[in-house]
Amino acid sequence: MDTFQPAENGGEEGKLYEHFLITTDKGQEPLRIDKFLLNRIENVSRNKIQLAAKAGTILANGKPVKPNYKVRPHDEITVLLPKPPEIHDLKPEPMTLDIVYEDDQLLVVNKPAGLVVHPGSGNYSGTLLNGLAYHFENLPQIEGFMRPGLVHRIDKQTSGLLVIAKTELTMTHLAKQFYDHTVKRRYVALVWGDPDQDEGTITGHIGRNLRYRKRMDVFPDGDHGKHAITHYKVLERLGYVCLVQCRLETGRTHQIRVHMQHIGHPVFNDETYGGDSIVKGTVYTKYKQFVENCFKLMPRQALHAKVLGFTHPVSGDWMELETPLPEDFQKTLEKWRNYTQNLIK
């Protein structure tokens, strides 16, 4: 009998696709892989399987195969299929979208802070997907659900670039790039403190906090959570805070925020991970008032998804897009620059 199991997903983005591992038994007769998978994966169409094969997300013994590949005994088959959130009755809503790039296959949007990406508990309207549903004349239909086209996410209070797929093939192709960690993602963050090194790498499993479900935590011994790696580079030192660039090697929930907090440099004004109070600096009235004014100017975590790079699913061209820091981030950064200069004087 075949052995079949869902494999470990790829982190936060893993919630948006399914990864299966199937090992055929010794008596497996030659059979087209699209027909083979159709009988073994629930609620999947043959067209979806064929598109996945075309996108290179169906592998036999580690190598991509075409839909007509004949399955053999003891084959190890891995399958990656898009799994968009099951959203019923997605209501199109007029919304101003900051579209950085768009063609017939995909769209890249610069998401503002405060905008929820997709409907969920407590947010059934006013989300980015509601705006996208209005922007698109028709979202492709899959098994009765509107296709949101999501292959990754950004936290509500994080700003920056997000790519949205318009077609099944693009969805599958981009999902594989995120799963393989070949997508280039660069974030800019204002963090508390002054790191000892100009560059560094943070490695530590990330999983749900064992007491507070809405928080994530780092488990250095790997006894809980999933492997996570964040590379950071200091861009500008501003005394009690520092501007850093973060490069994600994995895509875990709240990865940058929880990793930076773990090394003692929480993201500025991140209320979930302790950045919304004075972490560095002497607490005297004038300084405290200055920090509180910065918090008012930027009432959210100082984190922006600045750079996004990926291979275009159809043309094969490398695409790299960049967006400037939003106004609240720029003004807060400028206030810290002025404050630091006055301290030097």
Which amino acid type is present at position 331?
A: K
pLDDT digits 0-9 by tens, 88-108: 567 888 999 999 999 988 999
Whether pLDDT at 139 is above 60:
no
pLDDT digits 0-9 by tens, 253-290: 899 999 999 999 999 999 999 999 999 988 788 999 99
Between CA 138 and CA 145, with CA 144 as vertex, the angle to 5 degrees is 60
CA distance 151 to 16: 6
- Angle in degrees, 0-180, between the axes of helices 168-179 and 46-54, rounded to the nearest 10: 50
- Structural contact between residues 146 and 133, judged by C-beta atoms closer than 8 angstroms: yes
Highest mean pLDDT among 129-138, 219-228, 332-341: 332-341
pLDDT at 47: 82
Whether pLDDT at 327 is above 90:
yes
- Region 51-68: what's the mean pLDDT? 86
CA distance 281 to 82: 47
**Could you give the C-alpha distances from 88 to 119, 125, 163, in angstroms and in order?**
10, 12, 22
* Residues with catalytic function: 155
pLDDT at 289: 94
Whether pLDDT at 342 is above 90:
no
pLDDT at 140: 53
Which amino acid type is present at position 137?
A: E
Going by C-beta distance under 8 Å and a sequence separation of 6 or more, which residues neighbour residue 197? 234
CA distance 248 to 138: 33
- Structural domains of the chain in order of their starting residue, each with its CATH number: 3-82 (3.10.290.10), 99-179 (3.30.2350.10), 184-312+325-344 (3.30.2350.10)
Give me the chain's average pLDDT, please.
86
Threshold 0.85, pTM exceeds = no
* pLDDT over 70 percentage in the chain: 88
pLDDT digits 0-9 by tens, 62-72: 888 888 899 88
- Region 300-310: what's the mean pLDDT? 97
E strand map for the chain:
3-6, 17-23, 31-32, 58-60, 63-64, 70-71, 76-82, 99-102, 106-111, 141-142, 145-146, 159-165, 184-192, 199-203, 205-208, 216-219, 229-238, 241-248, 303-311, 318-322
